[in-house]
Amino acid sequence: MSKDTLTITDNRTGRTYEIPVEHDTIQAMHLRQIKVNEDDFGMMSYDPAFKNTASTKSTITYIDGDKGILRYRGYPIEQLAEKSNYLEVAYLILYGELPTKEQYDEWEHVIVHHTFVHENITQLMKAFRHDAHPMGMFIATLAAMSTYYPEGRNISDPWIRTKQIHRLIAKLPTVAAFSYRHSRGLPYVYPDNDLSYTGNFLSMLDKMTEVKYKPDPVLERALDVLFILHADHEQNCGTATMRVIGSSHTDPYTAMAGAAAALYGPLHGGANEAVLRMLMEIGDVKNVPEFIKGVKNRERLLMGFGHRVYKNYDPRARIIKQVADEVFEVTGKNPLLAIALELERIALEDDFFVQRNLYPNVDFYSGIIYQAMRFPIAMFPVLFAIPRTIGWLAQWVEMLEDSEQKIARPRQIYLGEGERDFVPMADR
C-alpha cells in the first residue's frame, strides 16, 4: 500500500477505500466513490464557510497562521515593506519575480500613463448624492467601468487581460480620490503623472490651489508601505469572490466590483472603519475594562481582533505599529492610540482572548494611521481596496490559467420537504 494515501473504512458497508494524499490534502471528488449502493450519489464533504477546504493550488501568497508568517512569491512581508515599493510588489505578485530595472521602468511608465479616467466616468461619479459612502461610489464606478472597456470581456486573450490590469491598477486611485473629494464637496483633482503612485494619490486627495503639489515624503512612504501590506492575502473572502465571479468568465471590472463588495463588510476590509468607530465609542482608556467585559459577555466583537488564518500576531499589524510611530512624528499622536494600546494589552493577557488565539489583525492599527493622516473614516475600506487590486487580478489570472479550475459551483445538503402536491390558495 502506498504511504501517500488515506485508508477509509465505511462502517455502513464494511468497504475500505484508499484515497491518494497530495500536499497533505485529499481531493473531495475521491470521496464520491464511497457509496452505500449503486443508486447512492456518493460521499461529499460538508464545510460551511470553507474552514478546511482548499479551493485552489496557488503560487502567489504563503501564510503560516500559527507562526504569523506572510510571504508574497516567497519574499517575507517584512523585507518587502522595508525595501520595496507598492508598484514593484505589484509586479512581483502579478508576474512571480521581482522586476529588473528595465522591466520596472516600463511597468511604472505604463501605470503612470493610464491614470486618467474617461470624462463620462467623472460625470457619472458627480451624480452620486453629496453624502454617498465612498466605498459605495468606488464599487459602483468599478462595475460601470466594464461598459467603458467592453473588450475586457475577452478574458482568454492574455494581451487584452494585461491591458485591463494596467487600467485597473492605474485608474482606481483616481476613482478612489474622486469619491473622497465628492464626499467633501471639493472639486476633483486630475492625476499628476510626475509623482509616485502614492504621491499622485495624495495629490488627488489634498491638492487645493498650489501649482505643484508636493506630498510629505513620510506620509507618501507610509501609505506605500500600507499598500504593500494590503496587496494580497491568498483566499480571503474578497479574493474568493473574485475567483468565483471570474470563474463564470465575466469581465475583470465586474468581477472586481464583486470582490470589492465582499471586502466592504465589517468582518473583512470594513473592519478598519469599524475599529475606529469602536475606539471613538469607548472614548477613554478608563472605559476599556467595561468594553472588554461586554466582549466577553458576547454583546460585542472586539473589532480588529481575530482572524480565520492567523492564530498568532498578524505580521502586518506588527509592521503597521512601526509605521504609526513614523506617521505620528509628522501628524502628532492620534489620541485613540492610547485606547487601542490598552485594549491590546488587556486582551493579550485575558484568558478569553488567549484561549481563542485572538490577536490584533491588520485592521486594528491601520485606521488609527489613516485618521492621523486626516482621511475620513468612510474612506478606510477604499484605502484597503486600492492596493488589493493587484492581489485580486493576479489571483484571477492564476484561476483562468489553471486547467483544473471550472465554474465555481458548490454542492448542498438538501434538508427541505420531500415531494408534495401543490395546494390551491383557497384550500390552505
User: 252 or 304: whose CB is closer to ligand CMC?
Assistant: 304
Contacts 24+ apart (CB under 8 A), 83-88: 84/228, 85/196, 85/197, 85/224, 85/228, 86/197, 86/198, 86/224, 86/227, 86/228, 86/231, 86/387, 87/111, 87/197
List the one residue from 87, 111, 302, 385 that touches ligand CMC (CB under 6 A). 302
C-alpha cell, 420: 408534495
Cα–Cα distances in Å, from 73 out to 58, 96, 224, 308, 394? Answer: 10, 6, 19, 21, 11
- For cell 511604472, name the residue: 108
Residue in 30, 64, 268, 350 annotated catalytic: 268
User: 135 or 204: whose CB is closer to ligand CMC?
Assistant: 135
List the one residue from 167, 171, 182, 307 that touches ligand CMC (CB under 6 A). 307
The mark string for 206-245 relative to ligand CMC (x by CB under 6 A, - otherwise) is ------------------------------x---------
The mark string for 94-133 relative to ligand CMC (x by CB under 6 A, - otherwise) is ----------------------------------------
356 is a site residue for ligand CMC (CB under 6 A):
yes
User: 49 or 426: whose CB is closer to ligand CMC?
Assistant: 49
Taking the complex as a whole, the smallest distance from the CB of residue 302 to ligand CMC amounts, in Å, to 4
Active site residue 206: no
333 is a site residue for ligand CMC (CB under 6 A):
no
C-alpha cell, 157: 486573450
User: 90 or 271: whose CB is closer to ligand CMC?
Assistant: 271
152 is a site residue for ligand CMC (CB under 6 A):
no
Residue in 232, 251, 314, 363 annotated catalytic: 363
User: 63 or 142: whose CB is closer to ligand CMC?
Assistant: 63
386 is a site residue for ligand CMC (CB under 6 A):
no
361 is a site residue for ligand CMC (CB under 6 A):
yes
3-state secondary structure of 6: strand
- Whole-angstrom distance, CA of residue 359 vs CA of residue 336: 18
User: 237 or 394: whose CB is closer to ligand CMC?
Assistant: 237
Taking the complex as a whole, the smallest distance from the CB of residue 321 to ligand CMC amounts, in Å, to 15
Which range in 65-73, 129-137, 302-310, 366-374 contacts ligand CMC by CB under 6 A?
302-310
Q: Is residue 245 within 8 Å of residue 106, measured between CB atoms?
A: no
Q: Is residue 179 within 8 Å of residue 141, measured between CB atoms?
A: yes
Taking the complex as a whole, the smallest distance from the CB of residue 356 to ligand CMC amounts, in Å, to 4
3-state secondary structure of 15: strand
Question: DSSP H helical segments within 236-379, as ranges?
Answer: 237-246, 252-264, 271-282, 288-296, 315-331, 336-349, 351-355, 362-372
336 is a site residue for ligand CMC (CB under 6 A):
no
Provide CB contacts within 8 A for 320, sequence distance 6+: 226, 229, 362, 365, 366, 369
Taking the complex as a whole, the smallest distance from the CB of residue 390 to ligand CMC amounts, in Å, to 16
The mark string for 248-267 relative to ligand CMC (x by CB under 6 A, - otherwise) is -------------------x
Taking the complex as a whole, the smallest distance from the CB of residue 314 to ligand CMC amounts, in Å, to 7
Active site residue 130: no
User: 224 or 314: whose CB is closer to ligand CMC?
Assistant: 314
C-alpha cell, 421: 402536491
Q: What is the DSSP string of 20-70?
A: E-BTTB--GGGGGG--SSTTS-------GGGTT------SSEEEETTTTEE
268 is a site residue for ligand CMC (CB under 6 A):
yes
User: 112 or 242: whose CB is closer to ligand CMC?
Assistant: 242
Active site residue 268: yes
Taking the complex as a whole, the smallest distance from the CB of residue 164 to ligand CMC amounts, in Å, to 24
Rounded CA Rg of the chain? 24
Which range in 11-19, 354-362, 370-378, 402-410 contacts ligand CMC by CB under 6 A?
354-362
Q: Is residue 165 within 8 Å of residue 393, measured between CB atoms?
A: yes
List the one residue from 88, 192, 232, 363 that touches ligand CMC (CB under 6 A). 363
Instruction: List phi, psi (to 5°) of 376.
Output: -65, 150
SS3 content of the chain, % helix, strand, coil (to 5): 55, 5, 40
- For cell 470589492, name the residue: 260
Contact residues toward ligand CMC (CB under 6 A) are 236, 267-269, 271, 295, 301-308, 356, 358, 361-363
Q: Give the residue numbers marked as catalytic.
A: 268, 307, 363
